């Protein structure tokens, strides 16, 4: 994540800021220029001659992104447009959880945009596009997952107590809202980057056959658990469940690493070349990323321990996982 400044007074800002607490000016994030801009009294701005206004979800979902204004322009920003289903306006608790989930989603959308990955909604491409159903399980059960480009997320994952209880009960070292988004969107990018095209052969060499019976493997995983010695080949125990889950888990970790390095670079904790928009293609680029990541994650883990917290990145990356991640990196950077 980049380091932002208020263009009115120079105050340091976070990605979430919709107001500068120093000068009191209203703010909005513009995805195309990847900047936070100062708004006028009507909540509008111009960037490079493009007239902008607040996203229509600014009030209901605390969205601070901007959209083009004018006849025929969309009222929702690039991230909010991807949400197909959300809680009703009369469900205050669910709306609060939804707003938190949208914040995590905006972070992921920005990262995908910086990586130049295609983000096409189902409103544009009903067959192959991306959409989110963000639902509350307070009344009806919700299963977080992915199916044909539709990502369903239980908004209860935004509740710290609920999420921690699940993390402990499932013996997971890490469970976060943004982690869910990165994992589930990994399934979507398996469709986009691999599918049945020329990259499938290498995919199967690394991950296995994605057409393996999913339900049978799911039942096996929850009845037998991960295989002995799984940590030598997989980034998590859940990755052992099915080739598609192995890909999604590895893809999520790739996004974890790239975004954390990008943030570290913004604050001079990593080289300037570690940013998301840096030219790091192929094997050489991936090797540099890992060279930067291993000492950074080690130091961040030690800092967390100094504060009495769990490790920031409680994972080991054995060579087979690095091989899988390198394949993902090669696909992500191929068009650059």
Tokens (6 digits) for 290: 């890992």
Taking every pair of Cα atoms in the chain, the longest distance, rounded to a whole number of angstroms, is 62
The residue ranges of every structural domain in the chain are: 2-74, 76-193, 194-335
d(CA 27, CA 39): 5
Decide: 21 and 57 in contact? Cβ < 8 Å: no
Tokens (6 digits) for 262: 């990008």
Decide: 330 and 299 in contact? Cβ < 8 Å: no
Query: 202-244: per-residue pLDDT in tens?
Result: 999 999 999 999 999 999 998 999 999 999 999 999 999 999 9
pLDDT of residue 160: 61
What residue ranges of the chain have pLDDT lower than 70? 71-73, 158-174, 336
State the SS3 of 181-242: HHHHHHHHHHHHHCCCCCCHHHHHHHCCCCCCCHHHHHHHHHHHCCCCCHHHCCCCCHHHCC
pTM of the model: 0.93
């Amino acid at each position: 994540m980049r380091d932002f400044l208020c263009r009115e007074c120079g105050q340091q800002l976070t990605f979430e800021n919709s107001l500068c607490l120093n000068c009191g000016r209203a703010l909005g994030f513009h995805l195309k220029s990847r900047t936070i801009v100062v708004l006028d009294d009507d909540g509008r701005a111009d960037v490079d001659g493009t007239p902008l206004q607040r996203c229509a979800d600014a009030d209901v979902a605390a969205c601070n992104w901007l959209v083009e204004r004018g006849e025929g322009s969309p009222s929702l920003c690039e991230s909010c447009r991807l949400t197909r289903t959300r809680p009703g306006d009369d469900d205050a608790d669910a709306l609060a959880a939804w707003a938190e989930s949208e914040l995590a989603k905006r972070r992921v959308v920005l990262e995908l945009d910086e990586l130049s990955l295609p983000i096409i909604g189902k409103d544009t491409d009903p067959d192959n596009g991306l959409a989110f159903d963000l639902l509350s399980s307070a009344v009806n059960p919700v299963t977080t997952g992915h199916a044909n480009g539709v990502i369903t997320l239980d908004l209860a994952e935004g509740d710290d107590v609920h999420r921690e209880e699940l993390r402990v009960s499932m013996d997971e070292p890490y469970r976060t809202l943004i982690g869910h988004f990165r994992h589930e969107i990994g399934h979507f990018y398996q469709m986009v980057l691999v599918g049945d095209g020329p990259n499938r052969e290498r995919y199967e060499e690394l991950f296995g056959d994605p057409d393996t019976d999913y339900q049978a493997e799911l039942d096996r995983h929850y009845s037998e658990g991960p295989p002995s010695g799984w940590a030598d080949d997989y980034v998590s125990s859940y990755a052992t469940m099915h080739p598609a889950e192995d890909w999604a888990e590895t893809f999520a970790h790739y996004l974890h690493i790239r975004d954390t390095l990008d943030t570290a670079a913004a604050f001079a904790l990593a080289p300037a070349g570690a940013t998301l928009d840096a030219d790091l293609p192929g094997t050489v680029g991936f090797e540099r990323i890992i060279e930067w990541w291993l000492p950074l994650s080690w130091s961040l883990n030690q800092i967390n321990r100094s504060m009495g917290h769990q490790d920031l990145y409680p994972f080991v990356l054995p060579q087979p996982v690095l091989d899988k991640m390198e394949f993902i990196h090669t696909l992500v950077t191929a068009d650059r």
